[in-house]
Amino acid sequence: MRQRFSSKRLTVSARLSGGLLRARPFLMTALVACLLLMNLGAAAQDKRPNILLIVADDMGWSDAGAYGGEIFTPNIDRLANQGYQFLNFHVGSMCAPTRSMLMTGVDNHIVGLGNMVELLSDNQRGKPGYEGRLNGRAVTIATLLHDAGYHTYMAGKWHLGYTKESLPASNGFEQSFILAQGGADNYEKKSYTPTYTTPPHFFDGLKEAELPPDFYSSKFYTDKMIGWIDGSLSEGKPFFGYLAFQAVHQPLQVPVEYTQRYVSTYDAGWNNIKSFRYQRQVELGIMPGGLKLTAPSVLPEWNSLPQDERRMDGKRMAVYAGMLEYMDMSIGRVLQHLKDKGALDNTIVIFMSDNGGEARELMNYFPEYYAKNFNLTYEHLGQKGSYVEYGPEWANVSMTPFSSFKSSASEGGVRAPFIISYPKSIPMGQRTDAFASVVDVVPTLLQFAGVKPASNSIPLSGRSMDALLTGASAQVYPSEASISQELSGGAAVYQGDYKLARNIPPYGDRKWHLFNLRVDPTESKDLASAEPERVKAMLQAYAEYVQKNGVIEVPDDYDIAAQAKKNAALKH
């Protein structure tokens, strides 16, 4: 070692003038010491974990095989078997509010997504916390990790604003390719709803991007992430990658061979598929037996439909299943690439969904638009140029065994699959039914990365899951803690095994109902009248949450569908 540095010293001396180093030998000693410190710092930095955060859009709790589904998802299932699978993880009831909390670790009402911008009630418009984009009050996890020496990449759906200040480039991501809006066609730069104009896609800063002719969202986002990861690994720096698929948000679209694998699967109808999934969940040990499976009363029975409607509905679900399988295959591509590069064992991988299954049927609101702009024939469903949504009946199946779906404060709207894998620190093959929330992701990842929250920002709303994940605790929150959430009139308070929930029409009555999720996860037995003191205490906790986070409640006559139409008209 001494001889090598001596040789290097002579080489440097020969390039510099007149005996400077000979006159001041301490300069070389200092230079060598600095190089050693730099090398030691790089070595320490290399040991920090990479982070890959994967988010599915509108994917139901029971869709993946690891959660009871019949859809072929070997890569998600392998993550669950080799990582830590959460059975009681909660998100917002709609996508942008969830994503705002996922990026900041702070409640959505504080960071600008107190409601979806498309659904703002008149009394919320223009108010702090309801900007419809990241408002800068909280520092994103990408900013914190980038400042700590991580490479930061984002590919996929953003939906957190597309002003200069709210795009990924202004929020810590050094490279990104994003769909800025809440959804779009998966093959073309084309809106999927008349409430949007041509959907903007962006490379990095404000450079709006065109899509290549062979674009398919899941493939393109995956290709981009793999390319960026390669650059990071070649430099020896850790990376934070946020891979946010459009799958399985409407329009449901996928290469035809993926749909064909499921065409006959769903002839059994939604009642039988839901029963099948629940039985699998019981066999897997992720749900107790004997639960009462419920569905909103407005949903029809499968056998009451005409044959041609059952045929069409079966294929719609086949497209959904194929799109999910393609996403799973894409996840497998990234994980295999990390494994081939020898980086998988030092990578924290998270897989999750942003809310419950999507029940909206936009085709009922704008039939002329879809008839004019898309091929709606049975033969073409799922292919380029088609438009597919699977409706509330299949959304209810996606959320087996729970009731309801996206936009509801019931478990069917806010309980999501969540899996985290990190072979170096998290025991393999674990499950937990401990309550956890999307606001807990940021503090957890910061703790594993050894990065402190910003001292000049809003305090984090959640807690690190580290003690649970490493076996030091069986819970994230103590049983006496109250955790609240609200969105578009729906609200919930969690405390231990209990949940107090409120939903608005058409799937609720604006009243508060109390459930014990430990014995009644399907929320079939209201305990409010039997336990008035508990209801009173939980309502007080909710009132404190409202005041602390600046929640502005929607008016009593608020209707989501009517407000969406009104806001779209104002926008255009």
Instruction: Give every CB contact of residue 429 below 8 A, 6+ residues apart in sequence.
Output: 81, 82, 83
Comparing CA positions, the residue from 438, 552, 461 lying closest to residue 98 is 438
Q: Which of 90, 95, 201, 337 is catalytic?
A: 95
- Residue 34 appears among annotated catalytic residues: no
Q: Which of 90, 109, 151, 159 is catalytic?
A: 159
Instruction: Give every CB contact of residue 268 below 8 A, 6+ residues apart in sequence.
Output: 276
Question: How distant, in Å, are the alpha carbons of 185, 268, 380, 384, 385 from that of 375?
Answer: 13, 26, 7, 9, 6
Say if CB 499 and CB 482 are below 8 A apart. Answer: no
Whole-angstrom Cα distance, residue 430 to residue 144? Answer: 29
Q: Give pLDDT, residue 298.
A: 78
Whole-angstrom Cα distance, residue 74 to residue 308? Answer: 33
Q: Give pLDDT, residue 376.
A: 97
Q: Give pLDDT, residue 487.
A: 98
Specify which residues 419 forms β-bridges with.
85, 351
Comparing CA positions, the residue from 492, 474, 475 lying closest to residue 483 is 492
Q: Give pLDDT, residue 46.
A: 53
Q: Give pLDDT, residue 291.
A: 96
| 342: confidence class by pLDDT, cuts 50, 70, 90 | very high
Model confidence, pTM: 0.92
| 129: confidence class by pLDDT, cuts 50, 70, 90 | very high
Q: Give pLDDT, residue 506.
A: 86
Instruction: Give every CB contact of residue 397 below 8 A, 6+ residues apart in sequence.
Output: 60, 62, 270, 273, 274, 277, 317, 357
Tens digit of pLDDT for each residue in 35-62? 444 444 444 445 899 999 999 999 999 9
Instruction: Please give the angle made by the CA atoms of 220, 225 and 229, to the nearest 5 degrees.
Output: 150
Tens digit of pLDDT for each residue in 541-570? 999 999 999 999 999 999 998 998 898 888
Q: What is the dihedral of CA 231, 234, 238, 242, to 10 degrees?
A: 20
Please state the rounded mean pLDDT for residues 3-14.
Answer: 32
Q: Give pLDDT, residue 299.
A: 86
Tens digit of pLDDT for each residue in 142-192? 999 999 999 999 999 999 998 999 999 999 999 999 999 999 999 999 999
Question: How far is C-alpha 380 from the geometric centre of its chain's CA atoms?
Answer: 29
Instruction: Work out the percent of the chain whose per-residue pLDDT is above 70.
Output: 92
- Residue 95 appears among annotated catalytic residues: yes
pLDDT at 28 over 60: no
Q: Give pLDDT, residue 570.
A: 81
Token representation of residue 115 = 């409601």
Q: Please identify which residue in the block is written with the tokens 């990578």.
A: 347
Please state the rounded mean pLDDT for residues 422-435.
Answer: 95
Tens digit of pLDDT for each residue in 436-490? 999 999 999 999 999 999 988 899 999 999 999 999 999 999 999 999 999 999 9
Comparing CA positions, the residue from 414, 261, 388 lying closest to residue 326 is 261
Which of 326-330, 498-502, 566-570 has the lowest average pLDDT?
A: 566-570
Whole-angstrom Cα distance, residue 128 to residue 117? Answer: 13
pLDDT at 10 over 80: no
